[in-house]
Structure 1
Amino acid sequence: MDQWQHRTVIRDGINLATRRRGDPGRPAVLCVHGYPDNGEVWDALADALGDRFQVITYDVRGAGASSAPAPVAAYRLAELRDDLFAVIDALSPDRPVHLVAHDWGSIQSWEPVTEPGAERRIASFTTLSGPCLDHVGQSLRRRGAGDMMASLRQLAKSWYIGAFHLPALAPLAWKLGLADAWPGILRRTEGLEAAASPTQSQDGARGVALYRANMLPCLLHPRERRTTIPVQLIVATRDRYVAPGLLDGLSDWTGPLWRREMNTGHWGPLLGHAAVTADYLGEFIDHIEGAPESARLARARVRPNAGPDAGKLVVITGAGSGIGRETALAFGGRGATVLCTDIDPDSAAATAEAVRAAGGEALSRKTDVANARSMEALARYVERELGAPDVVVNNAGIGLAGPLLDTSVQDWKQVLDVNLWGVIHGCRLFGRQMIDQVKAGHIVNVSSASAYLPSRALPAYATSKSAVLMLTECLRAELADRGIGVSAICPGLIDTPITGRARFVGVDEEEQGRRRQAAQRLYHRRGFTPDRVARAIVDAVRDNRAEVPVSMEASGMRWLGRLAPPLARRLARVDVERLGANR
């Protein structure tokens, strides 16, 4: 790894301490830090970027080794803008830089980014946890009473801004020990390990001038600030200081815009998950430099009038028919990109085509959920080509009815491989991807109403679906701290093709056909269609519901099993000859 090369850039008597490393022939990435940091906060990201780019950082005025003018007016956005332009002109005079900024660095960077002619110096802008104050001011003006609660929530997050305007309070706090306590504060609030900078106390005390010089003028008298420079927005969804809602509506002020979300706190993209941030940066900058837009980046592009799930990737197993097909159509209609998988590639492709015909985005792929290698190949493809999914629906399943004593080892293996192991594979592989790529994702496991009650008619099927229900509860507890939701969906008598494919053990082919027809008539008369289950799945993801008995009979079976176990056991002894796969 190249060593940092230090250089002082002087503008109007202000010394700006800069650092640069990497091949000068490569695209330049200029990083602007926030408050109360200095340029060293970018070290982990610079390491993660490796030798792909030339990386430039600098201490903004008042921080680190740069000059700290005394007047508050010296920290106005116009001065900060001209500082940044001076750094660009000195270190990358012949090639526009890719600007990356965090926190107050991002707030101040909006000023040069929205300056007319800025594209001659800035090729792209990636903003992390820092809105344009003028955009926020314009948004506050437009908000009605319905948005008042959102404004109040942001005010609660931004309590410190008011404190910073009190004379001498914040600088005094930094001088009296806040600097020494800063690593502990980051550890408790962000879960991050970071050492205090040698200049932490003065960085914190002097940087208060940024707020005093700019906050009220921009919010009370916002200007029209627009840009045509490509912008990538990286949103920390658990940010304690900048509500993600402050960054909504950004497309009103920009040209091409991409939005990524990371399930982390304010400093997480820099100090906790620099590798993921570097991956997003590299993909974005490569595209701006001329590379084709990857499927993952294309999904992140913000488009007007997109649905509520725009930008999300949904992976569905058993998507060729029934519940899987309707779920694909439901998420596709909400703007998500849907990957339809099925052991039958033609049916998966037909579902994907139906999603596209309805105006959505979809792909298809053959996958055998019972085969670990097939599922691992699917996971590798998704990670390489599409990025970690936002939602996984483990839906694929098969039906099997008949007495346990007539159920062979091979019968048990087939049911458990598809109904249970298929779910295990999907949870294990895609849950790991969500964690590695810092996704606040959701996993949906399709169980059954048969998971609630014992039945002499469905020992293998009910066992597999009960196991799915317990697996879901265990995984939900495991992933709760990761921001990943897990839901179990328990349909009842749903009119899907599974009833026509269910097997009945212990009978000849003629009797098996008769029982299939009887089950199909029963389910068809019930009239509960798979699109209603698909809506329940969408709602479960939206509301992070743990368990959803979809139909009336499913709810009844759930409460019967919980409130009257002896009665449930007696009912289990009833020989319902025509009962097929209860799903």
Structure 2
Amino acid sequence: MRTVESGGVRLAVFEEGPADAPTVLLVHGYPDTHTVWDDVAAALATRFHVVRYDVRGAGQSDAPRGTAAYRLPLLKDDLFAVADAVSPDRPVHVVAHDWGSIQAWEAVTEPGAHERIASYTSISGPCLDHVAYWMRRRPTPRHLRQVLKQQLHSWYILAFHVPVLPELLWRTVIAKRWPRLLHRIEHVPPRPGHPAPTMAADAARGVSLYRANVRARMGRPRERHTQVPVQVISPRHDHYVTPALTKGLDRWAPNLWRRNLYAGHWSALLRDGAQVARMVTELVDGGPGPRHAPLVVVTGAGSGIGRAAAQAFAATGAEVVVCDIDEEAARATGGHAYQVDVSDEAAMRKFADEVVTRHGVPDIVVNNAGVGHAGSFLATTTEEWQRVLDVNLWGVIHGCQVFGRLMAERGEGGHIVNVASAAAYLPVKSLAAYSTSKAAVLMLSDCLRAEVGARGIGVSTICPGLVATNITRTTTFSGADAAEQERRRASATKAYRRRNFGPEKVAAQILRAVAGDRATVPVTPEAKAGLALARLTPALLRNAARHT
């Protein structure tokens, strides 16, 4: 810790990481102190000189009296004073949150700021001048809805202009309950050191930030441009700052990146600090370079629906990674091909590691690999059950686990597609093992969708129906010798060909399911009719199963 003076105010400054590395300056918001950055700082300090400070009126810094002492020009001077003290010879990389972001915008848009600030990452805090211009845009129905929505989210700003009451509530009620409120609203577990013991007084004084700046800037906005590279991280579950506030920001910051993080206003730092640190590092390294094409992983892509899906995504410009137990077949599909047995957990984890290392975290994963088996429950052996469940169920579980966890940790959303079957909801006594495995996939997908939806990850279950693929040529049959197996396979293949419903039609539905975030997608007419019957008349289907 050191002390830096700015305009007669002593600011408490905290440093960590290698002193000769590029400096990253973290600016906290309201009603926090520098400790809100603990997770972000820990992740950055392995590579950067990380600097945090308690802004005036907060934590261990001085608390000047009077509303005027909290005007943005003074806060801007504080930021530059700290930057000059900790990195006098090199510009700093500024990262700011909430009101820290608002005051950092004041510095970043100062003429010549690009000579002192190398980059700027803004989280949940716009430039007030930019907001004023955004609200004055030529009105359209959509823009008016966005303005109204943001005003509803900003209800507390009006409340903070009420005399005395906000300060009284912070000192007597809110500060004591703050950890409980964060846990209830943003699922942030209580943690040592947060909030700071000075919070009640800090929050009471910090109300002056709103009173000193909001009305003045909303009434008389200035044109504020910047040459500094800017990255805006928008927490998608922010209850206070809507993404619409970044509309038109290119006008003011032409060197701009927009990033989404599926987190709340505070959980972005207190839960997903490592992801914020990653995004900051990408900007410092020259810009995040957002992928123009999504990365798609398809299992069982050596033939049939998997191959059709991989090629359909590739046709849209996506980068496609395919895997199959038959590596030669996977290579014939195209894209980046791997040989993988999806039923082998270790192999799937190794595959995921290779995908991330060589290509990155996928945006879309299609768990398609599957095998067919026919036989009644009493006729199906334990070994046959094991084979079907290993591939059809465990293969999907492995794909969801290894890639779903990566998507969730990245925090930028994604989509998982699990290929099931109409047999998942249409009971057939001759498909006991196969139907069970596919029904399990359908329920797994619904449970996973409920779990990861808040992280921006969609989950879709595709139920194709009778589709002409080579699964009929590899299906096994209980109680049949080799000759009988071949006869039944040939018969099934012939019947599916007569049905004449190709895998490319299923692939088209997979793309639509991802685009529309659809939960359950029956594909063929019989699959659609079967799902309707399963929901409306399940008893009728159970009776019909006795005769199939």
> Fold conserved (TM > 0.5)?
yes
Shift of 1:27: 1.3
Q: What's the counterpart of residue 17 of structure 1?
A: 12
Q: What's the counterpart of residue 117 of structure 2?
A: 122
Shift of 1:447: 0.6
Say if 1:56 and 1:143 are closer, same or farther in 2 by CA, change over 3 A.
farther
Shift of 1:217: 4.0
Say if 1:420 and 1:68 are closer, same or farther in 2 by CA, change over 3 A.
same
Secondary structure at the aligned position of 1:198 is classed as: coil
Shift of 1:553: 0.9
Corresponding residue to 1:38 among 26, 33, 39: 33
CA distance in 1, matches of 2:78, 2:93: 16
Q: What's the counterpart of residue 552 of structure 1?
A: 525
Q: What's the counterpart of residue 163 of structure 2?
A: 167
For each residue in 1:292-347, what CA deviation from the matched residue of structure 2 results, as whole angstroms up to 9, or x when unmatched?
x8xxx44x36xxxx6xxx6x543322234443344445555667654333334455
Q: What's the counterpart of residue 519 of structure 1?
A: 495
Q: What's the counterpart of residue 506 of structure 2?
A: 533
Q: What's the counterpart of residue 421 of structure 2?
A: 448
Q: What's the counterpart of residue 235 of structure 1?
A: 234
Say if 1:565 and 1:163 are closer, same or farther in 2 by CA, change over 3 A.
closer
CA distance in 2, matches of 1:500, 1:252: 59
CA distance in 2, matches of 1:111, 1:389: 37
Moved more, 91-100 or 56-65: 56-65
- Conserved 8 A contact 1:533-1:550: yes
Corresponding residue to 1:154 among 150, 156, 171: 150
Using the size of structure 1 for normalisation, the TM-score is 0.82
CA distance in 1, matches of 2:244, 2:308: 31
Q: What's the counterpart of residue 126 of structure 2?
A: 131
CA distance in 1, matches of 2:369, 2:105: 48
CA distance in 1, matches of 2:316, 2:77: 43
Moved more, 366-375 or 501-510: 501-510
Corresponding residue to 2:184 among 184, 188, 202: 188
Say if 1:15 and 1:455 are closer, same or farther in 2 by CA, change over 3 A.
same
Secondary structure at the aligned position of 2:444 is classed as: helix
- Conserved 8 A contact 1:77-1:111: yes
Shift of 1:88: 1.3
CA distance in 1, matches of 2:67, 2:142: 36
- Report 1:185-224 matches (<5 A): 185-192=181-188, 193-194=190-191, 195-224=194-223
Say if 1:348 and 1:83 are closer, same or farther in 2 by CA, change over 3 A.
farther
Number of residues paired by the alignment?
Answer: 541
Moved more, 369-378 or 426-435: 426-435
CA distance in 2, matches of 1:131, 1:497: 55
- Conserved 8 A contact 2:32-2:195: no
For each residue in 1:59-89, what CA deviation from the matched residue of structure 2 results, as whole angstroms up to 9, or x when unmatched?
2233233344445444333332222122211
- Conserved 8 A contact 2:134-2:247: no
Moved more, 164-173 or 547-556: 164-173
CA distance in 2, matches of 1:367, 1:429: 14
CA distance in 2, matches of 1:419, 1:133: 54
For 1:314, give the aligned amino acid. V
- Report 1:287-302 matches (<5 A): 287-288=285-286, 297-298=288-289, 300=290
1:373 aligns with 2:346: yes
Say if 1:145 and 1:512 are closer, same or farther in 2 by CA, change over 3 A.
same
Shift of 1:531: 4.4
For 2:129, give the aligned amino acid. D
CA distance in 1, matches of 2:516, 2:508: 12
Moved more, 363-372 or 547-556: 363-372
Say if 1:349 and 1:225 are closer, same or farther in 2 by CA, change over 3 A.
farther
Say if 1:345 and 1:225 are closer, same or farther in 2 by CA, change over 3 A.
farther
Say if 1:131 and 1:555 are closer, same or farther in 2 by CA, change over 3 A.
same
- Conserved 8 A contact 1:499-1:519: no
Q: What's the counterpart of residue 462 of structure 1?
A: 435
Shift of 1:379: 1.9
Q: What's the counterpart of residue 360 of structure 1?
A: none
For each residue in 1:220-277, what CA deviation from the matched residue of structure 2 results, as whole angstroms up to 9, or x when unmatched?
5444433333333332221111123333554454344444433221111322232333
Say if 1:477 and 1:190 are closer, same or farther in 2 by CA, change over 3 A.
closer
Q: What's the counterpart of residue 373 of structure 2?
A: 400
- Conserved 8 A contact 2:28-2:36: yes
For 2:24, give the aligned amino acid. V
1:111 aligns with 2:106: yes
1:339 aligns with 2:321: yes
- Conserved 8 A contact 2:417-2:460: yes
1:492 aligns with 2:465: yes
- Report 1:563-578 matches (<5 A): 563-565=536-538, 567-569=540-542, 571-572=544-545
Shift of 1:373: 2.3
CA distance in 1, matches of 2:350, 2:384: 26
CA distance in 2, matches of 1:549, 1:101: 46
Shift of 1:386: 4.9
Moved more, 64-73 or 107-116: 64-73
Using the size of structure 2 for normalisation, the TM-score is 0.87
Shift of 1:375: 0.8
For 1:568, give the aligned amino acid. L
Structure 1 residues not aligned, in runs of 5+ = 354-362, 576-583
Say if 1:221 and 1:522 are closer, same or farther in 2 by CA, change over 3 A.
farther
CA distance in 1, matches of 2:206, 2:359: 40
Q: What's the counterpart of residue 389 of structure 2?
A: 416
CA distance in 2, matches of 1:340, 1:99: 40
Secondary structure at the aligned position of 1:229 is classed as: coil
Shift of 1:408: 6.0
Shift of 1:113: 1.9
Secondary structure at the aligned position of 1:368 is classed as: coil
Corresponding residue to 2:300 among 318, 341, 345: 318
Shift of 1:418: 2.0
For each residue in 1:411-443, what CA deviation from the matched residue of structure 2 results, as whole angstroms up to 9, or x when unmatched?
544433222221111122223333444454443
Secondary structure at the aligned position of 2:321 is classed as: strand
Q: What's the counterpart of residue 444 of structure 2?
A: 471
CA distance in 1, matches of 2:323, 2:443: 24
Q: What's the counterpart of residue 270 of structure 2?
A: 271
Shift of 1:566: 5.5
- Conserved 8 A contact 1:35-1:207: yes
- Conserved 8 A contact 2:302-2:326: yes
Q: What's the counterpart of residue 578 of structure 1?
A: none
Q: What's the counterpart of residue 279 of structure 2?
A: 280
Say if 1:175 and 1:569 are closer, same or farther in 2 by CA, change over 3 A.
closer
Say if 1:165 and 1:382 are closer, same or farther in 2 by CA, change over 3 A.
farther
Secondary structure at the aligned position of 2:195 is classed as: coil
Secondary structure at the aligned position of 2:351 is classed as: helix
Say if 1:115 and 1:495 are closer, same or farther in 2 by CA, change over 3 A.
farther
Shift of 1:123: 1.6
CA distance in 1, matches of 2:65, 2:378: 87
Secondary structure at the aligned position of 2:32 is classed as: coil
Secondary structure at the aligned position of 2:297 is classed as: strand
What is the identity percentage for the equivalent residue pairs of Structure 1 and Structure 2?
51
CA distance in 2, matches of 1:121, 1:335: 40
- Conserved 8 A contact 1:314-1:392: yes
